[in-house]
């Protein structure tokens, strides 16, 4: 709960609320302030709820909040799962009801904003059937079509928003595509000019077009073939699953006997008949009773404090009557009721029967779930490796094959361990040989040093290695020189061919360069014109968006004013109805009805208060009359208290003097003894 409160306070202290609460201040909020905080959050989700709850009736506030919470699909937690308890807690601003609601709203504010926005357009209007005539049906059908179109357009808009494209990127893509288009047009014109010089170019173009069509057809046929292969593969998988199911059913039916099947069917029939005739009707009746009770609670108006006290008094009276009946029943002799024992046994058996039926139903559901999981796992296994689930003899064969493979694995593992041991021995021999080689090298160096030719063996090895490298480098140089000469010849021939081939193209390219410069200038001029036109259109679009935004705000204000007027109308109607009921109760000849009138209640209260005032005035008069002697008596008691204090002090002084004299006398005696 503390984590929940911390989260709520953090969210309320941030944008857009900025409440500046602490945990203590938030926890000490009054019910009306807590309801105002809830209303502020609902106003942030849907702006039409931005009202001051102090200017609104409690039943209207509860109705409005319950309506928006129903649209937002809020489900109360377990401790406030009863809707009557939740409704009463919402009306009085109870913390156990409001705190989980605030936590739920602040967790998913953006999602709920979207839901509230969509509810303005997607919540259907409930029209009675007697009003659904021809014109109304046509308009209602148009309304439903517009709602479906709105759904489609909203989905497309969300997809475009989530796609991540921006207007600048789209414009860049459009400009790049236009440039590519211009280049392609130029390339096509160039190719057309080249092709026009060729004989029978029309026929060749037609053949090329037919070739392209046939290639596209070939690709589509290949795609269809692949799709049909996939369909065939899925159909084979379904057939294989059906065959496996049929095999399982036959396997289960092979061991079954007619008597067992009949017995099982009789048990299922008894269970189903019990469920249909006894258990389900009871549950249905209980659900209907709870529904009727909830509808009755919802249809009743908001309860005041007086209504709550009346209901509590009635509950106490009914409880007292129940206790009296229980006492009367306990006073009677239980031996008189001969059927009580059998009734208790029947009730126990019925409860056991219900529990066993529930357990059987749960077991059946669990078996069905396990069968579904088994089928899903088998299908997943078949999809992964394409193999079936092994059963019976196939599983035994698989186990024997697995045992053979395990024996082979153990043999190979033993061979591997032997090889690793041999590898370790070889490594050790290599190290020993290296040590021996190092020792011989050291001995050779000592001998060379004694002879005066230190480093002779190293220089000889180095000279042999350098001579070998030199011979290899000489061979590589000869090969590379030959290759380079051949490559130079080939490059010179290729350059000459390219020059001869590019000479006419260069001649054609010179006028095209001039044309390109002219076109670039023309493109720059057109681009400046296009940018200016685009800027003007952008400004017009922004103005139109501002106008649309202003009109939407006016529309929302008009809607809020309309709803406010409707609410005021309903409040005035309820006040008029209350006044009429009050007048009816006041005028009615029945004394009980007249007592329920507010005027009678207030007149009784006024009489009670007047009587109370009279008694208080009499008490005041008595107090005034007895004030002087009472004050005199208080003064006398204070004087007595002072006298007693004085006597007490004198007595204490006398006691102190006597104790000092005794001490002095005792000291003198001690001195005499010494």
5: exposed, middle or buried (Cβ count in 10 Å: 0-12, 13-18, 19+): middle
Is the per-residue pLDDT at 262 higher than 50?
A: yes
Cβ 44 vs Cβ 17: under 8 Å: yes
Reduce the DSSP state of residue 573 to 3 states and report it: helix
Spatial distance between the Cα atoms of 263 and 337, rounded to a whole number of angstroms? 40
- Give the pLDDT of residue 616: 92
If you count DSSP H runs as helices and E runs as strands, how many of each does the chain have, helices first? Answer: 19, 0
Spatial distance between the Cα atoms of 84 and 94, rounded to a whole number of angstroms? 13
Is the per-residue pLDDT at 646 higher than 90?
A: yes
Q: What is the mean pLDDT of residues 379-400?
A: 64
Cβ 12 vs Cβ 26: under 8 Å: yes
Q: What is the mean pLDDT of residues 54-83?
A: 75
State pLDDT tens for residues 449-490: 777 666 666 666 776 776 677 677 667 666 666 666 676 677
Spatial distance between the Cα atoms of 544 and 548, rounded to a whole number of angstroms? 6
Give the single-character DSSP code of 279: I
State pLDDT tens for residues 519-542: 888 888 888 888 778 777 887 887
Q: Which residue has the higher pLDDT, 58 or 574?
A: 574
Cβ 279 vs Cβ 357: under 8 Å: yes
pLDDT > 70 fraction of the chain, expressed in percent and rounded: 81
Spatial distance between the Cα atoms of 129 and 137, rounded to a whole number of angstroms? 10
- Give the pLDDT of residue 67: 82
Retrieve residue 511's tokens: 């006028």
Task: List Cβ<8 Å contacts ≥24 apart for 65-73.
Answer: 65/38, 65/39, 65/90, 66/90, 68/42, 68/116, 69/101, 71/115, 71/116, 71/119, 71/123, 72/45, 72/105, 72/112, 72/115, 72/116, 73/115
- Give the pLDDT of residue 643: 92
In SS3 terms, 34-90 reads as: HHHHHHHHHHHHCHHHCCCHHHCCHHHHHHHHHHHHHHCCCCCCHHHCCHHHHHHHH
Residues 6 or more apart whose Cβ sits within 8 Å of residue 118: 154
Q: What is the mean pLDDT of residues 183-190?
A: 85
Spatial distance between the Cα atoms of 534 and 390, rounded to a whole number of angstroms? 71
Give the least confident one: 2-6, 80-84, 447-451.
80-84
State CA 244 to chain mean position distance: 40
End-to-end CA distance of the chain: 84
- Give the pLDDT of residue 650: 93
- Give the pLDDT of residue 672: 36
User: What does the mean pLDDT of the chain come to?
Assistant: 78
Is the per-residue pLDDT at 430 higher than 60?
A: yes
Spatial distance between the Cα atoms of 516 and 255, rounded to a whole number of angstroms? 91
Give the least confident one: 56-65, 333-342, 355-364.
333-342
State pLDDT tens for residues 488-509: 677 777 777 777 776 777 777 7
Q: What is the mean pLDDT of residues 172-180?
A: 85
Spatial distance between the Cα atoms of 566 and 560, rounded to a whole number of angstroms? 10
113: exposed, middle or buried (Cβ count in 10 Å: 0-12, 13-18, 19+): middle
């Amino acid at each position: 709960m503390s984590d929940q409160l911390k989260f709520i306070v953090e969210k309320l202290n941030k944008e857009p609320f900025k409440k500046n609460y602490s945990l203590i201040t938030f926890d000490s909020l009054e019910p009306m302030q807590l309801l105002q905080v809830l209303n502020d959050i609902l106003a942030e989700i849907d702006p039409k709820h931005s009202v001051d709850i102090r200017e609104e009736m409690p039943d209207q506030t509860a109705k409005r909040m319950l309506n928006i919470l129903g649209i937002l699909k809020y489900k109360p937690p377990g401790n406030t799962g009863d809707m009557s308890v939740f409704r009463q807690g919402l009306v009085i601003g109870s913390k156990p009801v409001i705190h989980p609601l605030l936590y739920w709203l602040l967790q998913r504010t953006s999602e709920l904003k979207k839901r509230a926005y969509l509810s303005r357009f997607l919540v259907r209007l409930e029209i009675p059937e007697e009003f659904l005539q021809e014109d109304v049906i046509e308009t209602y059908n148009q309304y439903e079509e517009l709602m479906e179109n709105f759904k489609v357009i909203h989905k497309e808009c969300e997809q475009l928003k989530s796609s991540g494209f921006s207007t600048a990127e789209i414009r860049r893509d459009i400009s790049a595509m236009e440039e590519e288009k211009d280049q392609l047009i130029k390339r096509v014109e160039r190719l057309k000019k080249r092709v026009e010089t060729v004989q029978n170019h029309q026929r060749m173009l037609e053949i090329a077009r037919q070739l392209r069509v046939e290639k596209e057809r070939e690709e589509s046929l290949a795609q269809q073939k692949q799709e049909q292969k996939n369909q065939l593969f899925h159909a084979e998988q379904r057939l294989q699953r059906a065959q496996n199911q049929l095999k399982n059913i036959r396997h289960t039916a092979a061991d079954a006997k007619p008597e067992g099947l009949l017995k099982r069917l009789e048990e299922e029939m008894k269970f189903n008949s019990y469920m249909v005739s006894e258990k389900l009707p009871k549950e249905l009746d209980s659900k209907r009773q709870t529904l009727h009770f909830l509808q009755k609670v919802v249809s009743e108006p908001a309860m005041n404090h007086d209504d709550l006290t009346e209901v509590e008094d009635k509950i106490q009276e009914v409880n007292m009557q129940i206790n009296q009946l229980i006492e009367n029943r306990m006073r009677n002799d239980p031996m008189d009721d001969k059927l009580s024992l059998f009734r208790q046994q029947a009730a126990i058996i019925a409860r056991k029967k219900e529990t066993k039926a529930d357990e059987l139903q749960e077991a059946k559901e669990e078996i069905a779930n396990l069968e579904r999981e088994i089928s899903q796992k088998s299908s997943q296994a078949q999809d992964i490796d394409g193999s079936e689930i092994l059963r019976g003899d196939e599983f035994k064969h698989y186990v024997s094959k697995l045992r053979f493979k395990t024996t082979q694995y153990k043999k190979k593992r033993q061979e591997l361990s032997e090889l690793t041991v041999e590898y370790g021995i070889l490594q050790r021999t290599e190290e020993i040989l290296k040590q021996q080689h190092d020792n011989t090298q050291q001995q050779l160096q000592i001998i060379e040093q004694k002879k005066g030719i230190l480093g002779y063996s190293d220089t000889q090895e180095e000279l042999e290695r350098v001579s070998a490298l030199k011979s290899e480098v000489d061979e590589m140089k000869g090969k590379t020189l030959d290759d380079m000469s051949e490559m130079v010849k080939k490059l010179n021939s290729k350059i000459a061919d390219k020059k001869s081939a590019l000479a006419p193209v260069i001649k054609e390219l010179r006028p095209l360069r001039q044309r390109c410069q002219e076109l670039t200038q023309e493109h720059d001029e057109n681009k400046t014109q296009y940018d200016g036109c685009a800027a003007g259109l952008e400004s017009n679009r922004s103005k139109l968006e501002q106008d649309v935004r202003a009109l939407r705000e006016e529309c929302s204000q008009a809607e809020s004013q309309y709803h406010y007027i409707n609410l005021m109308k309903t409040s005035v109607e309820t006040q008029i109805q209350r006044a009429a009921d009050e007048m009816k109760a006041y005028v009615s000849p029945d004394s009980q009805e007249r007592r329920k009138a507010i005027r009678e209640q207030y007149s009784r209260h006024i009489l009670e208060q007047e009587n109370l005032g009279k008694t208080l005035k009499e008490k005041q008069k008595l107090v005034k009359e007895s004030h002087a002697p009472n004050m005199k008596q208080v003064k006398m008691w204070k004087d007595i208290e002072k006298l007693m204090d004085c006597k007490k002090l004198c007595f204490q002084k006398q006691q102190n003097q006597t104790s000092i004299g005794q001490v002095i006398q005792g000291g003198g005696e001690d001195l005499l003894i010494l």
